[in-house]
Homo-oligomer: A and B are copies of this chain.
């Protein structure tokens, strides 16, 4: 069985405990660097691979401090605090740039915890939308590589067809999953949280340079819910809350087809205007 392209892109080789070598993968290339979602998943993978890891991911914050380029990089994951049932992590991605300078390109913090079962409720219900089978997949941005790795079925808020400055909303809703089927896990869920194009493009119907500078993911999915989701579609929606002075935020929710809220995510995005 061949390795899924997502797992190829995430692959890390341990040099020492918590110290890994990886490389940017061309299959997830964005305009000027790797897709932010694959970088988030790679940093989380360094935690998942760590021999001292306790439990499963609860929270992940990834800061895109500088442009990640093609070629090799180093990921260092450190459990800074281990409690009885929770563990706090710091992660850094280092890369040597074209000038030969080695520097921190991405930072992250993560929280893992032993799974527990408690009383619970979903407070945000999945909107009533047509099932994935009723929404045709749309080939988006044929020139961008990472988009080809996903099957995207836009329900609302697709990329504007005309850039006329006439936008009225920043809400996008879509069904999405790996184009090549792969059972959902925390890594692919983290990557999917970054699947949305810049909200300012939609709200303003204007294409401007934009890039995520920090993303947080909260994982709500239990192992059973991940297993039950399998290779099914996720319903993903994202909306900006404030767009102002060069940065906007985005709030996102991802449900499985059964309507279970698997992850919530937020990011702040730099934009030019």
Write the residues of chain A forming the contact surface with B, with a CB cutoff of 8 angstroms. 58-59, 61, 63, 65-66, 80-81, 83, 86, 88, 90, 92, 103-105, 107-109, 111, 113, 115-124, 170, 199, 203-204, 213-214, 216, 218, 220, 222, 239-249, 251, 253, 261, 264, 266, 268, 270-273
* Number of identical monomers bound together in the oligomeric complex: 2
Q: Decide: A116 and B214 in contact? CB cutoff 8 A.
A: no
Q: Decide: B266 and A218 in contact? CB cutoff 8 A.
A: yes
User: A186 → chain B, closest Cβ, in Å?
Assistant: 14
Residues of B within 8 A of A249 (CB): 218, 220, 264
Residues of B within 8 A of A116 (CB): 245-246
30 A–B contacts, CB within 8 A, in A order: A58-B247, A59-B268, A61-B61, A61-B109, A63-B109, A65-B81, A66-B83, A81-B104, A111-B268, A116-B246, A117-B245, A118-B244, A118-B271, A118-B272, A119-B204, A120-B243, A120-B244, A121-B203, A121-B244, A122-B241, A122-B244, A123-B199, A124-B241, A124-B242, A218-B247, A218-B268, A241-B261, A241-B264, A242-B261, A251-B264
Q: Decide: B266 and A86 in contact? CB cutoff 8 A.
A: no
Residues of B within 8 A of A203 (CB): 121, 123
Residues of B within 8 A of A105 (CB): 81
* Sample of 20 further A-B pairs with CB below 8 A, known A65-B81, A116-B245: A59-B63, A59-B214, A61-B109, A65-B88, A81-B103, A109-B109, A115-B245, A118-B245, A119-B204, A119-B243, A120-B248, A122-B243, A123-B203, A216-B266, A218-B242, A218-B247, A222-B244, A241-B261, A241-B264, A266-B266
Q: Decide: A61 and B214 in contact? CB cutoff 8 A.
A: yes
Residues of B within 8 A of A199 (CB): 123
5 nearest CB pairs, A to B: A120-B244, A65-B81, A65-B88, A118-B273, A220-B242
